[in-house]
Amino acid sequence: MRCANPWKAAVAAGVLLLTAACGSGGGAGEKAPAEQKTLGKGEGRVDIIAWAGYAEDGSNDPRTDWVHPFEKRTGCKVNTKIAGTSDEMVSLMKTGQYDTVSASGDATLRLIAAKDVAPVNTGLVPNYRDVFPGLKMRPFNSRNGQMYGIPHGRGANLLMYRTDKVSPAPDSWKAVFDGAATYSGKVTAYDSPIYIADAALYLMKTRPALGIKDPYALDSKQLAAAVSLLKKQRQHIGEYWSDYQKEVTAFKGGDSVIGTTWQVIANTAAAEKAPVKAVLPKEGATGWSDTWMVSAKAKHPNCAYKWLDWIVSPKVNAQVAEYFGEAPANARACRETTDPHHCAVFHAADERYYRRVHFWTTPVPQCLDGRKGVKCTDYAEWTRAWTEIKG
């Protein structure tokens, strides 16, 4: 075959570079990063990876701006990079070019294990004091009694629908799974392997025989059941979304009429006059509990700490929580919201409510639901499964 020839050169070049490539250090053998002991002067700049709506500078809505006041107060210029998925956040953090990240539970542990983030000295973050106790020292933000970040807030992945196209109003995830055929071609779903948990959650309620206790702890049989449900769902999917703007336009234009969403997307779409509504279905939902973490290679650690303290300060935390549509992490934020009932609506202090919400967690081989003698499927398997589902 003629096309064998060009490979020879490439292979030769590869051999040449082998030594060079192997020379640079790998991650596994590195020393664990240490927490910062004191807070110094700001470096004048901070590079942030955030979910959409977490670092608003007024460009989307002039009234929504907590970046400029921060810059004014601390002298730290903010550079924000919006990420669409946890995977994107992990990969961006691996570059070492960012100081801090608003990581969800399916990214935090991976970042900690890869030593991409440093432990956080909560003593340097005065506002940490007022964070709900239910968010402190959780498995997804700490390790061996050491916090690895400052809790930001939490919320649920909701079911959004076009009120003019979908009736009766849905109250169950059934609308996007077993009942998806009704809106075939107009159903949307989150484009990430972690979305498998949404299917697992639905199966947990509708098919108890499968024995799912935790949508992030699936043995291979349970994963197969979720995969087959998602493959059936795919027949009716119009498009998958990971870019929140894309979902806004899809619902606005009527290309999608029902599917999973975040409160902030529902708010944005509604603000742009799309007839949409978002509900928490009766099965409960997957959700997130986000943590601001500091990079192990942060170039501007002092500004990063200042940002951590700023974003969980009562006033700002209230602003973010209301804008994004989630429960604030700071208990005192509940007194600062424009809607006095915000904390009640989002069950900020209601730990029982949040038992219905299954926060994103990275699936690992040791089953998170405590089962022994069974090997659970890990995130790599979920990723392969997700590729297979999309076909």
Partner 1 sequence: MPTTDRARGRLAALLAPPLLWLVLAYLGSLAVLLLSAFWTTDPFTSDVVRSFTTDNFREILGTPVYRTVALRTLGIAVTVTLLDAALALPVAFFMARVATGRLRRALVVAVLTPLWAGYLVKAYAWRVMLGEHGIVNAALEPFGLRGPGYGVSAVVIVLAYLWLPYMILPVYAALERLPARQLEASADLGAGTLRTLGSVVAPAVRPALLAGSVFTFSLSLGDYLTVQIVGGRTQLLGNVIASQVTLDLPLAAALSAVPVALIVCYLAAVRRAGALDSL
Residue 232, interface with partner 1 (CB under 8 A)?
no
* Sheet arrangement for strand 237-241: 237-241, 187-190, 258-261, 158-162, 276-279
Residue 380, interface with partner 1 (CB under 8 A)?
yes
Burial of 373 (0-12, 13-18, 19+ CB in 10 A): exposed
CB atoms within 10 A of CB 168: 6
What mask, x for binding partner 1 by CB under 8 A, covers residues 310 to 349?
Answer: ----------------------------------------
Comparison of 149 and 155: residue with beta carbon closer to partner 1: 149
Nearest-approach distance from CB 375 to partner 1, in angstroms: 12
What mask, x for binding partner 1 by CB under 8 A, covers residues 161 to 190?
Answer: ------------------------x-----
Residue 324 makes CB contacts below 8 A (sequence gap 6+) with 51, 53, 54, 153, 155, 262, 263, 264
Comparison of 92 and 279: residue with beta carbon closer to partner 1: 92
Residue 119, interface with partner 1 (CB under 8 A)?
no
Phi/psi zone of residue 115: left (φ > 0), alpha (ψ -120 to 50 degrees), beta?
left
Residue 32, interface with partner 1 (CB under 8 A)?
no
Site stretch for partner 1 (CB under 8 A), options 26-34, 48-56, 59-67, 118-126: 26-34
The binder of partner 1 chosen from 46, 67, 78, 90 (CB under 8 A):
90
The binder of partner 1 chosen from 45, 77, 81, 94 (CB under 8 A):
94
Q: How many residues bind partner 1 (CB under 8 A)?
A: 57
- C-alpha 126/C-alpha 132 separation (Å) is 14
Comparison of 207 and 228: residue with beta carbon closer to partner 1: 228
The binder of partner 1 chosen from 53, 238, 281, 284 (CB under 8 A):
238
- C-alpha 78/C-alpha 100 separation (Å) is 11
Spatial contact of 162 and 251, defined as CB atoms under 8 Å apart? yes
Residue 271 makes CB contacts below 8 A (sequence gap 6+) with 61
The DSSP H or E segment spanning 242 is none
- C-alpha 131/C-alpha 228 separation (Å) is 40
Residue 87, interface with partner 1 (CB under 8 A)?
yes
Give the pair of three-digit tokens for residue 112: 């900690």
Nearest-approach distance from CB 90 to partner 1, in angstroms: 5
What residue ranges bind partner 1 (CB under 8 A)?
A: 1-3, 5-7, 9-11, 13-14, 16-18, 21-22, 26-28, 87-88, 90-91, 94, 109-110, 113-115, 185, 193, 234, 237-240, 242-243, 246, 249-250, 253-255, 362, 364-365, 378-380, 383-384, 386-388, 390-391
